[in-house]
C-alpha cells in the first residue's frame, strides 16, 4: 500500500510539452487576476500581509517555466510543488473573500483540471476530494448544515460532482496519453534498431533500449542533453544529426564511425526524418540507427579476400604479359654473339632489349599499384579546381594534329563542391579515363567532361563522354578486369586501378555506352560537408 501511494506521487507528465508552457503562462495570468481581485476585496494593509504568499507562487511559476526551458528532470517535483501552492492560494483567497459564496470558487475547478492534466487521474481525484472537503468546511463554517438549507445542500452537491467529474475527465486524458506513449515506447524498446528523438535544438528527448545499447549509455543520463554528447564522431565531421538540423536535410543509410564511452570504435548506420510544422519549421527529428560493426568487419574480411583473389588472378595475366617481353629480350640477347661485329644490328638488338625492359618495368609497376593498398592520406579537395587544373594540363598533352577537343562543363550549383581524398590518386583516375576517351576516337572528336550534382547535398558526379565507337554490352562487364584490353598498346590496367582508387574513396564508376555513338564513364564520389 505504501509503495502504491508513493508511486502515485512519482507520476510524470506524459503529454505534449507545449501544454506545460500554456499552463505555466496561464497560471501566471490567473495569479495576476486573483491578486488584483484580492486587492479589491481587502484593505491595503491586510492585502500586503498576504502579498508574500502570492509572490512565492509567482516565483515558483517562473522557476517552473525556466526548468521547462532547460529540459530539467525535476519537472515532476516542481509540478507537485506548484499544484500544492496553487491549491493553498486558491483556498486562502476563497476563505478571505466571502467563503462559500466567494467569486473565486471556480478556481478550484481550474486547479483540479490542472492536476488531472499534468499529474494523472489519481491526482485529479485527490485534488477533487480536497476541494470537496474544503468547500464542505466553508459550508459548515457558515452554519448551513440544517436540513432547512436545502438549496445550500443542493449547491454543495453540484459543486462536489463538478469537482469529481473534472478530476475524472482531465485525469482520463492524461491516462490515455500515458498509455499511448507507453505503447509507443514498448514498440521502440522491442525493436533491434536504435531510435533517437531530438528537438529542433538537438536536445535528446527519447532514446530506446537498442539505442542505449548501441551508444553504451543509460537513457536517464542522456535525456535533456545535446546529441553531440551522445554521438562522438572520430573524424572532423560534425554529428550528422546536428548537420541534419543545421542544413534542414535528411540522411539516408549514412555510415560513420563513433567512439563509445568504453573507447570502442563502432560503425553506425543512420537515417534521419525531420518533423515539420505547418510553416515548414523543424519541431523534432527522429533518427534510426544500427550498429554496423560486425558488417564492417565482414566487409574488411571480404576486401582482403577479394584483394588476394584479384592478385591471384592478376598473377596469371602477369605471367602472360611478362612472357612476351622476356622472349623478345632472350631472342635479342641470343643474336648478339652472332652479330658481334655488326654495330647496326647490335644497336637494333640493344634497342629491343631496352624497350622490352621498359615494358617489363611498366607491367610490374602497374601490378604493384594494383596490389598496394590505396593511400589513406586524404585531404579536403575542391573538386572543381582540381578538375580545371587537370583539364588544362591534359589539353597540352594530347596531339594537336588529330582534331581532338576537350570541353569542361562545371554546373553552377556544384562550383564549390568538395570531397575528401588523395588529389594525386584522383588525378590518376582522371588521366586514365580521359586518355581512354581520346584513344577511343582515333579519327578525332570531342571529349566532354561534366561536373554535376545537386546543390549542397548528395554525391558528386564527373562524366567523361567521348564520341568514339562505343563498347558492346557483352564487353562492358569485362573492361575493369586486370589485363583486359583490345588496344594495340597498353596492358589493360588503367580502369582496374581507377576502380580500385575510387572504391577506396567510397565512390563508384559506372559505364553508359552506345555502339557508334560513344561512351560515358561516370565517376560518383561522396560530398564533403563542411562544418560551420
pLDDT confidence tier of residue 8, bands split at 50, 70 and 90: very low
> What are the start and end residues of each CATH 3.30.450.20 domain in the chain?
194-291
Model confidence, pTM:
0.46
Task: Note whether 447 and 404 are within 8 A (CB).
Answer: yes
The three-state secondary structure class of 203 is strand
pLDDT digits (tens, 9 = 90+) for 50-86: 677 777 777 777 776 776 666 555 566 767 777 787 7
173-177, 187-191, 325-329, 516-520, range with greatest mean pLDDT: 516-520
Q: What is the CATH number of domain 377-532?
A: 3.30.565.10
DSSP 101: G
CA distances from 478 to 184, 368, 486 (A): 51, 21, 11
> What are the start and end residues of each CATH 1.10.287.130 domain in the chain?
294-372
What cell numbers appear for 175 in the block?
A: 491516462
State the greatest distance between any 2 C-alpha atoms of the chain, in Å, as a whole number. Answer: 150
pLDDT of residue 463: 93
Task: Note whether 440 and 483 are within 8 A (CB).
Answer: no
Percentage above 90 pLDDT, the chain = 1
3-state DSSP helix/strand/coil % of the chain, to nearest 5: 60, 15, 25
Can you tell me the distance from the alpha carbon of 496 to that of 265, in angstroms, rounded to the nearest whole number?
Answer: 31
pLDDT digits (tens, 9 = 90+) for 322-373: 666 777 777 777 777 777 777 777 777 777 777 778 777 766 776 666 656 5
pLDDT of residue 5: 37
pLDDT of residue 402: 72
Bridge-based pairing of strands 445-453 and 404-410 is parallel
User: Beta partners for 518?
Assistant: 514
> What are the start and end residues of each CATH 3.30.565.10 domain in the chain?
377-532
Q: Quick one: 194-291 is in which CATH superfamily?
A: PAS domain (3.30.450.20)
The three-state secondary structure class of 196 is strand
CA 370, 501, 503, 466: dihedral to nearest 10 degrees? Answer: -110
pLDDT digits (tens, 9 = 90+) for 212-231: 888 888 888 888 888 888 88
CA distances from 152 to 92, 96, 140, 142, 360 (A): 21, 19, 10, 10, 114
What cell numbers appear for 102 in the block?
A: 466567494
Question: Of residues 434 and 17, which shows the higher confidence score?
Answer: 434
For residue 484, is pLDDT > 80?
Answer: no
Q: Does domain 294-372 have CATH number 1.10.260.40?
A: no
Amino acid at each position: 500500500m505504501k509503495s502504491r501511494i508513493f508511486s502515485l506521487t512519482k507520476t510524470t507528465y506524459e503529454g505534449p510539452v507545449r501544454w506545460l508552457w500554456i499552463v505555466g503562462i496561464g497560471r501566471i495570468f490567473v495569479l495576476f487576476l486573483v491578486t488584483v481581485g484580492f486587492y479589491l476585496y481587502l484593505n491595503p494593509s491586510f492585502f500586503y500581509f498576504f502579498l508574500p504568499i502570492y509572490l512565492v507562487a509567482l516565483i515558483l511559476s517562473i522557476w517552473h517555466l525556466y526548468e521547462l526551458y532547460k529540459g530539467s528532470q525535476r519537472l515532476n517535483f516542481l509540478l507537485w510543488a506548484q499544484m500544492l501552492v496553487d491549491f493553498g492560494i486558491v483556498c486562502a483567497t476563497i476563505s478571505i473573500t466571502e467563503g462559500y459564496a466567494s467569486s473565486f470558487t471556480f478556481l478550484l475547478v481550474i486547479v483540479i483540471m490542472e492536476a488531472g492534466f499534468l499529474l494523472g487521474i489519481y491526482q485529479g481525484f485527490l485534488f477533487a476530494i480536497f476541494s470537496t472537503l474544503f468547500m464542505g468546511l466553508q459550508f459548515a463554517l457558515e452554519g448551513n448544515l440544517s436540513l432547512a438549507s436545502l438549496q445550500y445542500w443542493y449547491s454543495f452537491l453540484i459543486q462536489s460532482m463538478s469537482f469529481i467529474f473534472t478530476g475524472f475527465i482531465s485525469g482520463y486524458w492524461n491516462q490515455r496519453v500515458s498509455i499511448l506513449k507507453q505503447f509507443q515506447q514498448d514498440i521502440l524498446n522491442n525493436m533491434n534498431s536504435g531510435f533517437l528523438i531530438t528537438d529542433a535544438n538537438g536536445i535528446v528527448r527519447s532514446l530506446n533500449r537498442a539505442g542505449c545499447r548501441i551508444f553504451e549509455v543509460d537513457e536517464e543520463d542522456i535525456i535533456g542533453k545535446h546529441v553531440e554528447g551522445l554521438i562522438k564522431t572520430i573524424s572532423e565531421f560534425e554529428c550528422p544529426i546536428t548537420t541534419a538540423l543545421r542544413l534542414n536535410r535528411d540522411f539516408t543509410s549514412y555510415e560513420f564511425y563513433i567512439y563509445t564511452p568504453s573507447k570502442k570504435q563502432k560503425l553506425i548506420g543512420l537515417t534521419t526524418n525531420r518533423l515539420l510544422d505547418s510553416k515548414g519549421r523543424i519541431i523534432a527529428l527522429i533518427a534510426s540507427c544500427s550498429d554496423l560493426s560486425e558488417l564492417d568487419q565482414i566487409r574488411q574480411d571480404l576486401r582482403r579476400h577479394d584483394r588476394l583473389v584479384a592478385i591471384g588472378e592478376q598473377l596469371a595475366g602477369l605471367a602472360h604479359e611478362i612472357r612476351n617481353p622476356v622472349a623478345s629480350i632472350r631472342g635479342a640477347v641470343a643474336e648478339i654473339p652472332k652479330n658481334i661485329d655488326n654495330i647496326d644490328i647490335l644497336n637494333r638488338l640493344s634497342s629491343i632489349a631496352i624497350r622490352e625492359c621498359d615494358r617489363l618495368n611498366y607491367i610490374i609497376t602497374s601490378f604493384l599499384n594494383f596490389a598496394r593498398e590505396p593511400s589513406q592520406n586524404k585531404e579536403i579537395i575542391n573538386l572543381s579546381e582540381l578538375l580545371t587544373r587537370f583539364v588544362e594540363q591534359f589539353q597540352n598533352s594530347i596531339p594537336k594534329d588529330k582534331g581532338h577537343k576537350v570541353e569542361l562543363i562545371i554546373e553552377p550549383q556544384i562550383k564549390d563542391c568538395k570531397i575528401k581524398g588523395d588529389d594525386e590518386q584522383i588525378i590518376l583516375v582522371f588521366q586514365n579515363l580521359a586518355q581512354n576517351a581520346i584513344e577511343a576516337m582515333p579519327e578525332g572528336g570531342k571529349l566532354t567532361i561534366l561536373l554535376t550534382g545537386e546543390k549542397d547535398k548528395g554525391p558528386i558526379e564527373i562524366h567523361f563522354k567521348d564520341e568514339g565507337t562505343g563498347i558492346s554490352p557483352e564487353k562492358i562487364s569485362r573492361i575493369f578486369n586486370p589485363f583486359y584490353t583490345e588496344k594495340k598498346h597498353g596492358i589493360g590496367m588503367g580502369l582496374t586501378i581507377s576502380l580500385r582508387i575510387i572504391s577506396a574513396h567510397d565512390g563508384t564508376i559506372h559505364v553508359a555506352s552506345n555502339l557508334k555513338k560513344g561512351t560515358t564513364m561516370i565517376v560518383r564520389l561522396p560530398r564533403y560537408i563542411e562544418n560551420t
